[in-house]
Structure 1
Amino acid sequence: MNLLIFMEEQFSELVSKILSGEASEEDRKEFSQILSNNPDYNLKYNQLKEYWNADVRHKVIKDSAQVTDKIMARIKDTEGVIKEKKSSLKIAVAAAVMFFITTCVLLYHVNKSSSGNVYTYAAQAVPVEYTLSDGSKVTLNKNSSITLASDFGDKFRDVKLDGEAYFVVSKDKSRPFSVETNGTRTKVLGTSFNVKSKNNEVITTLVEGSIMFTSNNFEKVLSPNEELRYNVATSKYEKYVCDVQLNTAWVSGRFNYSGISFGAFANKLEAIYDKKILIKDSELTNHIVSASFLVEEPIEDILDALKGELKFSYVVDSANQIRIMSK
């Protein structure tokens, strides 16, 4: 048997066991060894795991059979290679793994250039996290990608971004990390930050550490909790203190607010849902609340969860404003 085919079948078998929860301790050790010796398989496993978990993370799914059905349906729709629905979870996972490996539809590809290979990491329907060769972690928002050269990490750590990404950069003073997007560059040594490029705007949000944003002759250093909004066409910019939680919640898929006044929390909801919220009672405004909710959760569900404890009612008027009143 061809060695490559054997490795793919072995990888497929082990991924099947791990994703279906059937892997033994020996299986896990063998799989860990494969990933250590083959970085490409590490990437494939991360993407398969993200694809497998996507429906669980972003939708309410009651049992694993539903996930199996969705994967099998996706395979049928994409290539038509699977004619018969599999009832076994393990078989379904194996089929999905082998489909991705053999047809090369993973969100990862290699291009040849004069300076060597150029690697592209991408996300489509859901955010995907990647670990780069230097240990830095990059979470790509949906419909986003980064590109880097095969010599990434040798002397420089440069990536090109299309879309939005959250970076947690491994510290290395001798090799600065640089993100290029839409004619701008963000340089860092080791930090956590978010970069979003859309139309003519580049928005950089700093969570921890320090970064330098540059474009042509423009240069600005950001401190934690600061955001810079730069217009590429006009070279105009705004730098301001921001709500980091608001701007990076897409990474975890959840908003978390603890120990803030209900009035301040209402302001957060206004920004998240683009709705005006009017509170008629000052005592209610000063009430301290904590809340955790999914990014895509309807605002009505959040208010319904709080109204019993805070003893208020609310109505949505004809102007789509939400008016909150004490009972």
Structure 2
Amino acid sequence: MASFNNKDRLFELLHKKIFGGLLLPERTELSELLKVPENELISSFFEEVFSSERVFIRTDYQESQERVRHSLFGKIQKAAKAQENKRNTYLKYISIAALLLFLVGMSVIFIQFKEIRNPVAIIKTISASTNKGSKTSLELPDGTKVWINADTKLTYGEDFGNKDRSVNLTGEAYFDVAKDPSRPFLVHTKYAIIKALGTSFNVKAYPESPRTETSLIEGLVEVTLTRDSKKKIILKPKEKLSVINQPYIQNEVKNHTPNQGMANITITDLVKPVNDSLVLEAQWTKNRLVFQNMKLEDVAKELSRWYNLEVRVYDDKLKAKEYSGIFEGESITEVIEALKLTGGFDYKIDKNVITILP
């Protein structure tokens, strides 16, 4: 018998499936839960009720809650009576479990709509995400092409392009934006909002990183810091803006431009490798792993995402040491060995964990 914790989770995932917002990993989780016959039956009841009762969020909350409650209970009892000779005991359990699930889970669903009075529409969220060690690409409804790096999540509303073109990013992505002067393209990260028209740029905004980086390849972008929306930074082609996410980290700010009037920012020129037209910040779109004067602490994070394993550095002096290199197709061991030759460190491998030692 499945636990009520699993039931509660099933209810939450079914809700997300119907009203939007179900992420790719959650789809897999839901598929696994629905392999249980009992859960599959509950799912069919759930979908039938809410497909016919979707207007409930446009009417009185208490009235709607009671209507949906009775509707679901009635459908469960009807199914139980129809099958009582064949699977009477089983379906009675289903009726009780589903009803309890409904009573417990109603708070999960209605809590999201309790404060909504007269919504015009439910806007579904579309999500594209990658795990560590994987990358993907897609084309948005407006024709904008997006390359998504490892361990990244990109979301946008189902109404993308109707009034504006906004996406939310956690991780790293390269954007080749379709031109549309009437509808600027906006990338929302935790610490910055990047506004573009027709342009190409790379945004790196991993939550564990102390910096959010915007690299402009061509065109024009305007960057607004979320902590100070009144101040905006205009980037020119072949420039990179690096914003220190934690204001207290002052010693990482180099080449600060005083005329910008802001602390904790850096604007530098983008660098191209010899005999290559693609800047370093976009090399990952060609499956090339690049380090340019990168601290070993940050190199370890890059390697962890790139190869889907854990790279640990405990020594503070090693963490601060900088490395450069371009790798294409090498294994993690080959990359570590190459860095070891130039950096003078040792390492040990234990399954999926690499520990770098002095």
Higher percent of residues as strand? 1
Structure (1 or 2) with the larger CA radius of gyration? 2
**Given the two structures, how large is their TM-score scaled by the length of structure 2?**
0.43
**Given the two structures, how large is their TM-score scaled by the length of structure 1?**
0.47
Structure with greater contact order relative to length (CA < 8 Å, sep ≥ 6): 2
